[in-house]
Each structure stands twice: as structure tokens, then as C-alpha cells.
Structure 1
Amino acid sequence: MQKRMGLIAFGIIVIFALIWWAGIDETISIVRSTNWKYLSLAILMQALAVIAWALRWRVFLNRANVRESLSRVLVAVLVGIFVNNITPGARAGGEPARMYVVSRGKDEIYGRTFATVMADRILDAIPVMLFTFVAFKYALDLKIHVILLILSISTLVLLLILGISLLFSFNERLAKGLLSRLLSLLKRVFPHKFAGVEEKIEKKFERGIMDFRKTLIDLSKDKVVFFKTLFYSLFLWVVMMLRTFFVFMSIGHPLKIYEVLMVQMAGIALGMISILPGGIGITEGVNSALYLSLSLDKGVAVTATVVDRFISFWLPTIVGGAISFYLSAKGRKA
């Protein structure tokens, strides 16, 4: 925990260094001139993205006969976002966290819920790859070599993550190993809930392996589920692009939507492989540099990036963290 907090502190220092480099006075001046109507629209887009994610996952849950209210699924998604954002690397910590929120107290659905989480993660790669391809085309037409390079790296990383996810999902031995790792993550996130019952929970997880594989195969064959979830995925990514678009509108420096698309797609995988939790500092630095490649002023590039990250990273993390601590405190009292 101390190491993780140290990394987060380092990332925050990087952000402040970035603001200092861009010019503190200029950054404050740009923020003061913010158009609150467009900023409110940016926040609304982020909220819609989270709701779309919850709706998408709920389609998978319903198909797997795991019946939960939208509010419960939304809570699980926010808890997952919080854990993802404090987890270094490929952001895998949020999956077991949201699985636990939905499955707790219902031992028989662990395997099915885990299958929906994996299906949700795998399907998300489709719109990402689609938008990355479109971004690559624009970057190629405009001959922006920096963005082309990072888009290429991002594509390779995303394909690698997708391949690993598929491999773990359909290989029983690897799936058992993955469940074991997820269990250890859950014990760190909810230590009081798992104290003294680790062995019991682990046996339940092992019994859920067959249920997990059957559910995942059923989900992959259902075309109605595929198209419904794909619609929510596409909607989710569109509103996230619009969020950044409105952020730039709010500071009086509008960008074309394809410029936002290029930068967003280029930066996504780099944040996923960052050793810093949630890519704190790294994502801000990379995105600012990419906006500079579009001939933006450094003050505008840094300010827009920091504001956009506050909306997309810090606000959901704060909300998800508050919910996580509430559930943890409630669990201790139970």
C-alpha cells in the first residue's frame, strides 16, 4: 500500500511539474476563462459513459441469469473504476472488485459473474480497435509521425491484452490460475470481508470454473447480446470523445473531433501499461505532447489535458472510492 501511495504521489508531482512547464499563470488564466456550459456538457458525457458501461455489463449479466438492478451494477462499475485507477499495469484490479460487489452473498453465481466480466472486457476491444483504425488513417493522411508511432504501439499492446484475455478465458488451467490471482486481489481490496474464509472462498471459485466456461461460450454465441453490447460500447466511446471535445470548447480552443480521436486512441494503451496507478502523470504528459504535435500552444495543451483527466479520472475515482469505503465499512459492521 505504501509503495502504491508513493507511486500516486510521484504521478501527482509529475502533473504539477507539467503545469509549471506550461506556465502556472497562463494555466490559471485559461481555467478562469472556462465556459461552464461546455464544461458541464463534458461532465455529462463522462456520466453517460459510466452509465453506458453499466448498461452494457447488465446485458451480459441478464443473459447469464444474474439479475441485478441497474443501480447495483452502476455501483459495481464505479467501485471497479476506483480499483482500476489505483492499480498499476493493465488495470485488471477493477474486474474482481466489481465481480465481488455483484456476487457477494450469492455463492452460486461467482463463475457466471466472472464470465460476464471477461466477456465485457473482451468485447470492449472491438470499438477500441475500430476507432484506432480510423485514427490511424487520419494520422497517416496528415503525416503526424509521433501519433502514428504511438498508435502503432497502442495497437500492438491492445492486441496483446486481447490475446491474453482470450487465452485465459478458454484455457481451464490458466483460468484457474487467473481466478487465484483475482482472489488475492480481492483479499487486498476487501481484507476484512475475506479474513478467515480464504480457503472456503477459493473452493467456491474453483467450483465456478466450469460454470464460468459454459457461460462465456453461451455469451459468445448469442448474436442479440453481441449487438446490444456493441451498441453500448460504441456509444460509450463516442461520448468519451465528445467529453474531450467539449473540454477544448470550454477553454475557447475547439479541436476537430478527429484530432481528439487521434490523441485519445494513441494514449489509451500507454496508460494501460504504465507502472504508475491509473497512468497518473504519464497519461497527462503523453496526451499533452500529442496535442502539441497538433500545433497547439503548450498552455492550452496541458490545461485541456489536466481538466479532461480531472473529469475522466479523478471525479469517477473519488466517487468510486467513497462507495468502496462505504461498502467496506458496512461489511465490517455486518
Structure 2
Amino acid sequence: MTEEPSGLLALLDRKTVAQIALGFLVAVVVLGLFAVGIGVDEIRAALSGAQLEWLVLGCLSTLLCLTAWGKAWQIVLRVAGVEESFRRLAVTYYAATFANYVTPLGQAGGEPFIAYVLSRDTDASYEGALASVVTADLLNMLPFVTFSGVGFAALVYQSSLPAALEPLAAGLMGLAVGVPALAAVGWRYRFSLGRLALRLAAPVARRTKRLGLEGLRERLRELNDAFQRIAQDRRALVSVLAFAYLGWLFFALPLYFAGLTIGRDLDLLLVLFIVPASTLAGLVPSPGGLGGVEAAMIALLVGLLGVTTATGYAVALIYRLASYWFALGLGGVAALYVIARN
């Protein structure tokens, strides 16, 4: 077994904390410049009379989303032979969400974090825990491509897709078709791809002690075993996908509630398109896609609904309060608890 990564210690490393803080600072400045450019008075007017009970419902939807995804992880871990109480695992999942949301480009911090914690809390090896976590995350990609495809189809059917957004829509449809196709091809040729990965990693492994070929080979084997176990257990696979889809529905609903907060009743099918589309902007190098997601959402709301830029900014701001900042606060508290627990 390879040496456990210092996932928790990395979160406390001064250099890492400084980089994260700088990323937040830059993103907040960008959002501030957006507000100034749009007009602070116009945004304030759009937010006047906001009904905060809808914002509370948006936060509750985010909590249910994270809880559903945590349940999906528990099922995958159980198939892998890792027994963990749901209450304990849910807290760990909230902490992993915090790691994802403070990491530039997202999804780069949470998986090693939760695998490290699970290897400490259970009898699972770090490789086995990481393989199970990655398996659950890959299965969670299916609702993303499904919802984006459904939303795109609805917009095309209603003939309400502006020409300026056609490239983005085409990209989402490409993902909706390409991700399942790539997954099928990857599964079919997984052993060949594994050998290719080892050959590509060999030159790097010879130049650094941080990467060992034996450790990489073990992790690939554990990942393949995790995929095979979940594929063979059809009932568990259906349960994981059910919770994944439920989680994605709750992930999208905060945008609907954000519209209601300022008196805008958004079409749910439109929401199913806008949320995945704006999530793609989370690939910008800022914590949780901060700045990029908001900019993309404003453009989509203005282009699809014809609302003013100030209204789009207000809806995007409320959505991110419920879906990002609330999750960040919840995950931060959970991360402190998990660190103390371990």
C-alpha cells in the first residue's frame, strides 16, 4: 500500500491557504467590478423587496443535494466492503464539499480528502477508499449530461434559444452524448488505458519520489475493482443513480428559488439547462468557479429570458448564496469537526 497523502495537512499548509485566499480575493474583486459596471443602484433596486423565505428554501435544497450525494457515496462504499454510518459519512461529505469548493478548478481537493478520512475512520485502504469515491463521482456525471440534454431539447422545441448561445448549447449536447460514449469506451479498453497511463507516468516516476509506479498500479487496480463491484451489483447501481439524479435536481432548484426571491418565476426546464451550462464555467481557475459561474449565469439569464443585466446579476447572486456560500459555510464547519475527529 502506498503512503497516505497528507490531505488534511495540505488544507492547513500556509502556501495553500495563501493561494486559496488570493483566489477568493481576485474573484470577489471581479464580481465587484461586474456590479459597478452593471450599476450598483440598479442591482439594489432588483434586490429590493426580496422574499428571503425563498432563499432559505434554496439553502435547504442545497443541504438535501449534498445529503443525497453523500448517500450515493455510502452505497458505493458499502459495495466495496466499507461500512460507515450515514450520519458520520454525511458530515465527512460536507467537509469534502468544502475542500472542493475552496480548490481552484474544483473537484481536485475533495476526493483525496475524503479518501484520507475514510482510510483513517475505517479498515479500508487509501487506494480502496479513493477508488470508491471516484466511482461515485463518475456515476454522478450521468445526471449532469441528462439534465443538460433535457434542458437543451426543451429550448430547441420552444424555439427560444438565441443564436449567441448556440455554441454553448452545442457543447452541452456534445457532453451529453460524449461523456457516456467515452465512459463506455473507457470501460471497454480500461486495461489498455491503464497500461498506457503507466507508460506515460514512468518518465515522471524516475525523476521524482512523489510518484511511484507501484502505487499508481495499485490505485488503478483498486479503481477497476471498484467499477466491477458496482457494475455487478445492479440493485446498488440503480440506488446510486437514483440518489445522484435526486441530488442534481436539488442542486438545480436553488436557481428556481433564487428567481422567486425577487419575484421571477423561472421555467424549470430552463433551470435544467442554465445550471449545467453555468457549471461548466466552474472550470475557471478560481475557488468553486467563483466569478466565472456568475458571469455565465448572468449571460444565460439575459440571453434566454430577456431580463435586464441587473436582474440577472441579482438572480445569480442569490443562487450562489444558496448553492455555493451556504455549502461552503456548512462544509467549513464540517471540515473543522472532521479534522478534530481525526
- TM-score category (smaller protein): 0.7 to 0.9
CA RMSD of aligned residues (A): 3.1
Q: Deviations over 1:236-295 (max 9, x none)?
A: 122222221111111111111122222112112221x21222111111111101101020
Alpha-carbon distance in structure 2 between the residues aligned to 1:229 and 1:177: 33
Alpha-carbon distance in structure 2 between the residues aligned to 1:161 and 1:275: 22
Q: Which residue does the alignment assign to 2:170? A: 152
Q: How does 1:40-79 map to 2 (within 5 A)?
A: 40-79=56-95
Quick check: 62-71 or 159-168, which moved more? 159-168
Q: Deviations over 1:106-161 (max 9, x none)?
A: 46432332222121111112111111111221332323223332132345467777
Give the number of aligned pairs: 312
Q: Deviations over 1:77-133 (max 9, x none)?
A: 112211111222252221111112222154643233222212111111211111111
Contact 1:80 1:98 in 2 (8 A): yes
Q: Which residue does the alignment assign to 2:293? A: 283
Alpha-carbon distance in structure 2 between the residues aligned to 1:297 and 1:23: 11
CA drift at 1:223: 1.2
Q: Which residue does the alignment assign to 1:82? A: 98
- One-letter amino acid of the counterpart of residue 235, structure 1: L
TM norm structure 2 = 0.80
Q: How does 1:27-42 map to 2 (within 5 A)?
A: 27-42=43-58
Alpha-carbon distance in structure 1 between the residues aligned to 2:88 and 2:66: 13
- One-letter amino acid of the counterpart of residue 109, structure 2: G
Contact 2:55 2:322 in 1 (8 A): no
Quick check: 11-20 or 102-111, which moved more? 102-111
Q: How does 1:290-305 map to 2 (within 5 A)?
A: 290-293=300-303, 294-305=305-316
Query: CA 1:97 to 1:164, structure 2 compared with 1: closer, same or farther past 3 Å?
Result: farther
Contact 2:43 2:314 in 1 (8 A): yes
CA drift at 1:174: 6.8
Contact 1:76 1:97 in 2 (8 A): no
Alpha-carbon distance in structure 1 between the residues aligned to 2:106 and 2:257: 28
- One-letter amino acid of the counterpart of residue 147, structure 1: L
Q: Which residue does the alignment assign to 1:192? A: none
Contact 1:154 1:268 in 2 (8 A): no
- One-letter amino acid of the counterpart of residue 267, structure 1: S
Q: Which residue does the alignment assign to 2:233? A: 222
**1:122 alignment partner, one of 138, 142, 145:** 138
- One-letter amino acid of the counterpart of residue 264, structure 1: V
- One-letter amino acid of the counterpart of residue 261, structure 1: L
**Which sections of structure 2, spanning at least 5 residues, go unmatched?**
1-15, 202-209
Contact 1:245 1:260 in 2 (8 A): yes
Q: Which residue does the alignment assign to 1:143? A: 161
- Secondary structure of the residue aligned to 1:278 is coil
Same amino acid, percent of matched pairs: 23
Query: CA 1:231 to 1:161, structure 2 compared with 1: closer, same or farther past 3 Å?
Result: closer
- One-letter amino acid of the counterpart of residue 293, structure 2: T
Q: How does 1:208-219 map to 2 (within 5 A)?
A: 210-219=221-230
